[in-house]
Structure 1
Amino acid sequence: MTDYEADVEKTQMMDNDNDDEDEAKHAKFKNRRYTLLKPPGFGKPSVYHGLVVIFLEFFAWGLLTNPVISTLNKTFPTHTFLMNGVIHGVKGLLTFLSSPLLGAYSDVWGRKSFLLITVFFTCCPIPLMKISPMWYFALISISGLFSVTFSVVYSYVADVTDENSRSAAYGLVTATFAASLITSPAIGAHLARLYSENFVIALGTAVAILDLIFIFFVVPESLPERLRTDQKISWDKIDPFAALRNITHDRFICLICLIVLLSYLPEAGQYSCFFVYLRLMLGFSEDEIAYFIAFVGIFSCIAQTALLACLQRYFGSKETIMVGLFFQIVQLAAYGIATSNWVMWFAGGLAALSSVTYPSISAFVSVYAKDNQQGLVQGMVNGVRGLCNGLGPALFGFIFYLFDVNLNESVSPTLSTTMPTRLNHTSIRVMEKQMYLSMLTRDVPGPPFLFGALLATVALMFCLLLPNSKPESNGLYVDARIIEQKARLLNLESDSHDHVLT
């Protein structure tokens, strides 16, 4: 080897060493930048990280129960609940279209980023409630594009649990949602009386900001790199209707989405108007409404933890769904015909027992989804639920309108401006008493609730077509595992893999 060749080889080795050093520095810089932009969080990912996220978000909105009703009445003094249905209808439609898409991309980019996005856009309208009510309701509608927190949290929980413990974990998620509403409406009403509604809105905003800080700094990523699907962005991937067409391609997911549609439609409708219905129909005071919410919330926590675990262990997901639907049918029928307070309290207990339905559905669906498709599947189911969140309030408001039941809580402007304050309160009570007596003379006090009971009955019938999931004595879902092996949900690539192997 000549001296020239030796010098060339030495130069090449030095260049290679410099390239390796540059690559190492670049990787180190990239990792440091990733850590700054997306902190790894504390500890290992667990169910409790998702529970805190759910609790803080819905606690913030629970504080605003009374301010939302008053803002809605002041902004839309005529046909309040019809406008409420339109606003939430737009939001629900956007959620229905975007939820499968966001769920699928959370399988690509991870759960933490989408938790930040969903919580931010869901809570960003809160500060505008008093600043600009029209912009507040506009943002409420637009936020439906990203209001899929439940879908992402369910996917997060699916990443950190196995099939046997997943149903109980989903029960904890929905129980945490109920727990966030046990005290927050009462706390919000009490603080509004002590200070003002503006103080309550500021507190709700602070809780939402705390939730975002918790996600950014504390929540770790639950989806490992090895389980993330390698997908490129294309129109086929971002087309929301592609996910809708997938619902009809699989018989099981089609049945599940139909059951969710028929059961959650009346549930979403009653949540949108039930508090004012209690106030005007049965004369509940604000404190009684807060106690009623706490009562239902406490029983919901018990039902979604102890009762759900027992039903899942000894009967299975399908039977648990049917039990929940049965309680929902009786509860809605009681709401529709009740004319006394004790019937409403009894029906509230049944509503708490019926809350085992949705976590059982989510657990049942998760058995059929691959580990890297949990976000897509849960997004499809949650998208139907988002559609119900929009159609439910509109349906109930329209039925109340058809039966000439006006649930507006506002008072005539002439009375409110010309009479003294003490006389105003007297006139409000007289008007509520007149509404109460007029509604008691109806053959059916609550027509939408009876229609909802009919929908839930149809959902119970469709539930009979689901595959069996009854566990054996050892508690393992053997039947579900066999069905899963025969047909994996959305296993769209199985045919292509078979051709490659052959």
Structure 2
Amino acid sequence: MEKFRELIHLFVAVFLSTFATLIVIPAITDVTMMAVCPGQDECSLAIYLSGFQQAIIGLGTVVMMPLIGNLSDQYGRKALLTLPMTLSIIPSAILAYSRTTSFFYAYYVLRTLTAMICEGSINCLAFAYVADNVLERQRTSVFGILSGITAAAFVCGTLAARFLSTAMTFQVSALVAMLAAVYMRIFLQESLPNSENLAQPILKSGQDDHSQDGGDLPMKPMVSKKIPSIQAITSLLRSSVTFSQAAIVAFFNSLSFGGLQASLMYYLKARFHFSKNQYAELMILLGVSGMASQLLFMPFVAPRVAEEKLLAIGLLGGIANALLYSVAWSAWVPYASTIFSVFEVFVTPCLRSIVSKQIGPNEQGKAQGCMSGIISLANIISPLVYSPLTALFLSEDAPFNFPGFIFLCIGFSTMIAFFQSILIRAVPPISSHKSSSSSSILA
């Protein structure tokens, strides 16, 4: 029961943090358009600004995610969770104060800088925390529950945004982000598989290590040894064929998801004149589908169906969703396409579980950070490809009249991930897990 209580505290902290992040999404498109192109339904500058921000954030997280994951293996998940949870308060607080053009650009810059650390790091560390405390055979289900908690926060945040004013939306976001950081620091217990390394705090020097020798040897910088090199990451990817295949799937699936992030809301605004309320309604349906799938369906299906098969099913759902968006002929079609979210949400917990079983217990943070870095690399590339295509095919200068062409490209990227996923075969977890599994039990 002790392990279970700690997971409950983790779930609450992740829920609050995700709620604070996602509540602003339905409003941010309108805020951006009002600040950059007031009174317009189509604005190439807003699309390019959003795409550029996504690419820069991805560039930062490619470096930061493996570093944060690796540091969490040495200094603990809780210690590293404190940084992104604290930094995520700042951008919402700016727009909670004012949403004029000057404040929007201040938000834009600080959101870009803070998201280099915050984007994906909370989920990365949460997955590593679960892997520390859950047996291998239970991980897919618990990863699914964690994804379901995220979906529940998505639903609650979007529902709140639907009924709150724009100003109140950002105020609530800042307040809940503060609450998430405080709750995590008070209630969450530290998790560290290699506990002897926690004897020294993360910011303490290594002098005590040399004092027992009676010499005054020069102190070596500790942090430099914790930054994974390109060779170390490459070695990690090559440590298992299954790990490498999962990394390829994660890259192409994230390339598609990044394309949706960069394009979807601007496409819906230009094509069907969506606003904050319509975005919120659509996102609520997406979140309810994902939450129901992860919390009600996944715990029963995961123990009975191989995770690589669930992964393939999820990618098929993504392909179907992209194709339906590409031919959307009415405003109700995007709402109808949310049914495929029931299957799409299988992808993340299955990938994370597959990877966690290929790596030893002392490298879970490094492995999850490496996967997050690969996802971030895709997030650099996707806006560079999809934002210009979106702006082109929504403009009057399109080479042919097909506004949904961008979603055909997204579907093609997901199809590559699907074909790679069907090559994944179940591989027995590495033997080092056997000796440590008795200490990681979900009561």
Q: 1:384 aligns with which of 361, 369, 374?
A: 374
Q: 2:238 aligns with which of 234, 249, 266?
A: 249
Deviation, structure 1 residue 298? 1.0
Decide whether aligned partners of structure 1 residues 247 and 370 sit closer, same or farther in structure 2, where only a CA change above 3 A counts: closer
2:218 is aligned to none
Q: 2:183 aligns with which of 193, 210, 214?
A: 214
Deviation, structure 1 residue 50? 2.0
Letter paired with 1:162: L
> Structure 1 CA distance, aligned partners of 2:178 and 2:390?
37
Deviation, structure 1 residue 241? 3.1
Q: Is the 8 A contact 1:63 1:185 kept in 2?
A: yes
Decide whether aligned partners of structure 1 residues 323 and 347 sit closer, same or farther in structure 2, where only a CA change above 3 A counts: same
> Structure 2 CA distance, aligned partners of 1:263 and 1:185?
24
Secondary structure of 2:91 counterpart: coil
Deviation, structure 1 residue 247? 5.1
Aligned-residue Cα RMSD (Å) equals: 2.9
Letter paired with 2:335: W
The answer to which of 221-230 and 136-145 deviates more is 221-230
Deviation, structure 1 residue 45? 5.4
Instruction: Give unmatched runs, 5+ long, in structure 2.
Output: 38-43, 200-205, 207-220, 435-443
1:52 is aligned to 12
Secondary structure of 1:170 counterpart: helix
Give 1:196-235 correspondences, 5 Å limit: 197-223=166-192, 226=195, 233=222, 235=224
Give 1:184-333 correspondences, 5 Å limit: 184-192=157-165, 197-223=166-192, 226=195, 233=222, 235-239=224-228, 241-246=230-235, 248-250=237-239, 251-284=241-274, 286-333=276-323
Deviation, structure 1 residue 343? 3.2
> Structure 2 CA distance, aligned partners of 1:244 and 1:74?
43
Decide whether aligned partners of structure 1 residues 372 and 457 sit closer, same or farther in structure 2, where only a CA change above 3 A counts: same
Decide whether aligned partners of structure 1 residues 115 and 361 sit closer, same or farther in structure 2, where only a CA change above 3 A counts: same
> Structure 1 CA distance, aligned partners of 2:8 and 2:359?
23
1:416 is aligned to none
Letter paired with 2:20: A
Q: 1:374 aligns with which of 330, 355, 364?
A: 364
> Structure 2 CA distance, aligned partners of 1:64 and 1:46?
29
Decide whether aligned partners of structure 1 residues 123 and 387 sit closer, same or farther in structure 2, where only a CA change above 3 A counts: farther
Q: Is the 8 A contact 1:62 1:185 kept in 2?
A: yes
Answering whether residue 142 of structure 2 is matched by residue 159 of structure 1, we say no
Decide whether aligned partners of structure 1 residues 54 and 244 sit closer, same or farther in structure 2, where only a CA change above 3 A counts: same
Deviation, structure 1 residue 447? 1.5
Decide whether aligned partners of structure 1 residues 199 and 298 sit closer, same or farther in structure 2, where only a CA change above 3 A counts: closer
Secondary structure of 1:124 counterpart: helix
Deviation, structure 1 residue 240? 5.0
Instruction: Report Cα offsets for 1:98-133 as digits up to 9, x if no partner.
Output: 101110110110111111112112332221233732
Q: Is the 8 A contact 2:73 2:194 kept in 1?
A: no
Deviation, structure 1 residue 442? 6.3
Q: Is the 8 A contact 2:30 2:276 kept in 1?
A: no
Q: Is the 8 A contact 2:70 2:227 kept in 1?
A: no
> Structure 2 CA distance, aligned partners of 1:167 and 1:62?
24
> Structure 2 CA distance, aligned partners of 1:121 and 1:449?
33
Give 1:78-477 correspondences, 5 Å limit: 78-129=44-95, 130=98, 132-147=103-118, 148-192=121-165, 197-223=166-192, 226=195, 233=222, 235-239=224-228, 241-246=230-235, 248-250=237-239, 251-284=241-274, 286-403=276-393, 405-406=394-395, 444-468=402-426
Q: Is the 8 A contact 2:325 2:337 kept in 1?
A: yes
Which one has a bigger Cα radius of gyration?
Answer: 1
> Structure 1 CA distance, aligned partners of 2:432 and 2:413?
31
> Structure 2 CA distance, aligned partners of 1:293 and 1:44?
30
Instruction: Give unmatched runs, 5+ long, in structure 1.
Output: 1-41, 407-434, 469-478, 489-502
> Structure 1 CA distance, aligned partners of 2:433 and 2:156?
44
State the TM-score, normalized to the length of structure 2: 0.82
> Structure 2 CA distance, aligned partners of 1:72 and 1:391?
22
Give the % identical residues.
20
Decide whether aligned partners of structure 1 residues 189 and 240 sit closer, same or farther in structure 2, where only a CA change above 3 A counts: farther
Secondary structure of 1:480 counterpart: coil
Decide whether aligned partners of structure 1 residues 259 and 247 sit closer, same or farther in structure 2, where only a CA change above 3 A counts: farther
Secondary structure of 1:313 counterpart: coil
Q: Is the 8 A contact 1:81 1:393 kept in 2?
A: no
Letter paired with 1:206: L
Letter paired with 1:103: G
Instruction: Report Cα offsets for 1:334-380 as digits up to 9, x if no partner.
Output: 11112124432332110332111111110111111111111000000
Q: Is the 8 A contact 2:47 2:391 kept in 1?
A: no
Deviation, structure 1 residue 234? 5.5
Q: Is the 8 A contact 1:98 1:240 kept in 2?
A: no
